[in-house]
Amino acid sequence: MGKYIDLTASNFEATLADGVSLVDFWAPWCGPCRMIAPIVEELAGDYEGKANVCKVNTDESKILLLNLVSVLFQLFCSSKMVKW
């Protein structure tokens, strides 16, 4: 299994600036978030070197949520949200 990237306000823009990134917005108290955590970790391994697989702890990084739509997952390509 690969290692996902923990996103914070300080590394968010730089991490998503180039290429494709999958961002998992999660919270420690969220049951469904904890259920899919192993899948996110598996994706990090499967896409290592091809895409960034990232996680945002919404309890710790609330400032990021002020600028984004509240979603469970979001796909980014070169810092731009992919509409799907």
Q: What are the catalytic residues? A: 30, 33
- 3-class DSSP state for residue 83? coil
SS (H, E, C) 8-57: CCCCHHHHHCCCEEEEEEECCCCHHHHHHHHHHHHHHHHCCCCCEEEEEE
Helix (H), strand (E) at residue 75: strand 73-77
